[in-house]
Amino acid sequence: MTQIIDDVLREKVIAYLKDDEGVAEVLGSRIFPEVLPGNLTSFPAAAITRTFTDRKRSKTGLTGITDSRVAITTQSPRKKEAVAAANAIESAMEKLNDTRDMKGLEIKKTDLADQDDFYVQQIERHQIESEYLVTHQNEE
């Protein structure tokens, strides 16, 4: 079994997305850290992980700003559901450019950096992998 390591940003992303009306309407509470549970029977679902962190520095030290990459994978046996989940998440992430707040974490900017969609034959699911660049204050 994979050990899930605590990650403040990932947990804030999950909490933020679960509280977003559009995301909740499509995914409910089926948003998980790192990987989807193997026994999952209700879809669509999403898994969230931080893939990269760059804490910004200047000549005087850390600036208090971090660039992080957050990978969000949506899956469903039905492509329409996987797409709807990815679209709802994208909309919620775009809202952060206006609100600038993710559960108490100051957000400077979010951008969809990359997105791929494909069918995973071994598990018979459509999968959309979205990678977001999130510029934020250093998390506590």
pLDDT at residue 98 greater than cutoff 60: yes
Position 30 scores a pLDDT of 97
pLDDT in tens, 49-64: 999 877 777 778 767 7
pLDDT at residue 10 greater than cutoff 80: yes
pLDDT at residue 109 greater than cutoff 90: yes
Domains along the chain with CATH numbers: 8-137 (3.30.2000.30)
| Angle, CA of 10, 77 and 44, to the nearest 5° | 35
What are the Cα distances from residue 49, in Å, to 2, 31, 61, 62, 69? 13, 11, 27, 24, 9
